[in-house]
Structure 1
Amino acid sequence: MSESKVNSLGIIGMGLMGGAVMKMTGAGLGWDADAARCVNAPAASDVFESCDGVFLCLPNSDVVRAVLGAATLRPGQIIMDTTTGDPREMAAIGAELLARGVHYLDATVSGSSAQLLQQDVLVMVGGDAAVFERCRDWFASFAREVIHVGPCGSGAKMKLVTNLVLGLNRAALAEGLAFAQQLDLDLTQTLDVLRRSMAYSRIMDTKGEKMITQDFTPQAKLSQHLKDVRLMQAASKLPLPLSETHRRLLEKAEALGYGEADNSAVIQAILEP
């Protein structure tokens, strides 16, 4: 393998994010637990045995550990984990793999799979800086910007911080639109005014219309963000009062049947009894 970059690339986890990463990077192999999503790789071992670099696009750290535990890895191989997981667990995985000569980067993504396809995401990478540089070209193929944020686990930490603020922006927009509806305001005009006002956040551009039209086709699933909020609370030594309220809203939306819907469906936790 070249010391300047990774030569061959594969994907483990071919959901929304993994499929988008494959398209943008041109990776040749992709495996998923859903056989219908697999690309040139009937088994996960096909990816690990053939590729110098492997992206993991998985639901959580437990799945990451299970997949890596069953894999045959070789010294010098690079694992790039986009999973929004437990920072402590990701740091531990990095240390364990390093002892086997395998490199691990927790390369978390700020943005949806749709934004990744537009090369409009930020990637926050934890791990060895030299290994990060070797993989920069792969990240640059789908990211607007790539930042090395520290040792293993740091990418996951930064993702939780950004997701905390992002999720609260989304919840605030949902509450604002629900309030506007109660006041008999035109919601399309309300969204336009919000975008022009000091209240503006980019979440209005990606989730505002979805909330108004109730088009909850998933870009990022609500249940996944609920998982993230629980990780934030577990990682924090301080109370997170706004995130606690947000968690309860997400749990209500999930109980109403919106767990697999887009995370903009949090508005339904406010609108529905």
Structure 2
Amino acid sequence: MIAPSAPAATIGLIGLGLMGSAFAGRLLAGGFAVLGCDIDPAKREALNALGGRGVARAQEVFQHCDRVILSLPSHREAAQVIAAGDGVLRPGQIVIDTTTGDPEPTAALAGVLAARGVTYLDATVSGSSAQVRGGAVTLMVGGNAAAFAQCADVFACIGRQAFHTGAAGTGAKMKLVTNLVLGLNRAALAEGLALAESLDLNLEQTLAVMRACPAYSRIMDTKGERMIHGDFAPDARLSQHLKDVRLIVETGQQAGLPMPLSAAHRAVLEAAEAAGWGERDNSAIIQALRAPVTRPVEP
């Protein structure tokens, strides 16, 4: 981890959910001061307990911080927050948007901010909140190369590697590509374990065999035990990934691709959400792939 060169340099953070709170923990541990905003008072208090300072208004964050991280559900919320900063945003600031959003509106937002002299980086993150807390995520950053270099200390504090992917919007594009493959790996693991379960195989041994053979993927290390033991406390919510998969399918089809695997993945996630698993961890996708419970017929 690289500590900031100036003691207690203050980083703004808007959005203190699963990912945002994990960012805050990493930044505070790395020697930064954190001024964070969230509409939920409990999340602001949680930041205070970590050693940061929580505020209720995004404008206050923009007013006091030269670099501001956004950790929000979609590009729509990001645009709303930027609009709320009108009159407070100033030339020379850098907005680091970690939101997984539609690449076109993301690039457009960069243009809106550039007109005010503000630099926008779409710094998408590959990994869960638990992996953020361990510093094990990868960042894919689109936007101005000089601003990317200027934020190297922040990126090094949050994750293990950061890639500059090109112009603004390319970070969002890269995130859709990586999320497509990651999500299908997770869905394949869930379906494989569901099949093993239906064949009365020992699931712990099944997972061990898959880890030892060419079927292995790193998702087995983060989600395998969770699927086996039903540990669905959220590191990354299923509904949030469903939002991403819908965007993946839409973006791919706009590019002229059929996207059959992602379309099937979307349908499974929608079934899991309809069954009440949306707010649980995305490993709960296995619940939509398990054999239905056979209920005895009443006489």
C-alpha distance in structure 1 between counterparts of 2:54 and 2:249, whole Å: 39
Task: State the shift of 1:142 in Å.
Answer: 1.6
Counterpart pick for 1:14 among 4, 13, 16: 16
Residues 84-123 of structure 1: matches in 2 within 5 Å?
84-123=100-139
Residue 212 of structure 1 deviates from its aligned partner by 0.3
State whether structure 2 residue 56 is matched by structure 1 residue 42.
yes
Cα offsets for 1:99-128 (capped at 9, x unmatched): 110010000000111111111000000000
Compute the TM-score of the two structures, normalised by the length of structure 1. 0.96
The Cα of 1:205 is off from its aligned counterpart by: 0.3
What are the residue-to-residue correspondences of 1:217-256 with 2, within 5 Å?
217-236=233-252, 237=255, 238-256=257-275
Deviation at 1:40, TM superposition (A): 3.2
Q: 2:279 aligns with which of 257, 260, 269?
A: 260
User: Number of paired residues?
Assistant: 270
Matched with 1:25 is: 27
Q: In the alignment, residue 241 of structure 1 is paired with which amino acid?
A: P
Amino acid at match of 2:20: G
Residue 28 of structure 1: CA displacement? 2.0
Measured after TM superposition, the shift of residue 149 of structure 1 is 0.4
CA drift at 1:255 = 0.1
Do 2:194 and 2:291's aligned partners in 1 also have CA atoms closer than 8 Å? Answer: no
Cα distance per residue 1:3-47 (max 9 Å; x no partner): x99943110000011111111112421111112212332322221
Superimposed CA distance per residue, residues 202-232 of structure 1 (whole angstroms, 9 cap, x where no aligned partner): 0000000010001100010000110001111
What fraction of aligned residue pairs are identical, expressed as a percent? 59
User: 1:171 and 2:187 equivalent?
Assistant: yes
Cα distance in 1, alignment partners of residues 283 and 129 from structure 2:
15
TM superposition score normalised by structure 2: 0.88
Q: Which amino acid aligns with 1:48?
A: F
Q: Is this contact kept in 2: 1:7–1:53, CA < 8 A?
A: no
Matched, 1:271 2:290: yes
For residues 79-228 of structure 1, what are the structure 2 equivalents within 5 Å? 79-228=95-244
Answer with 69-78 or 186-195: which moved more. Answer: 69-78
Structure showing greater radius of gyration is 2
C-alpha contact 1:7 1:52 (8 A) present in aligned 2:
no
Q: Is the 8 A contact 2:10 2:35 kept in 1?
A: no
Q: Are the equivalent residues in 2 in contact too, given 1:54–1:79 (CA < 8 A)?
A: yes
Structure 2: where are the runs of 5+ without partners?
45-52, 293-299
1:113-167 Cα offsets, whole Å, 9 max, x none, are 1111111000000000001000010010021111100100000000000000000
Say if 2:70 is the partner of 1:68: no
Distance 2:277 2:140 in 1: 29
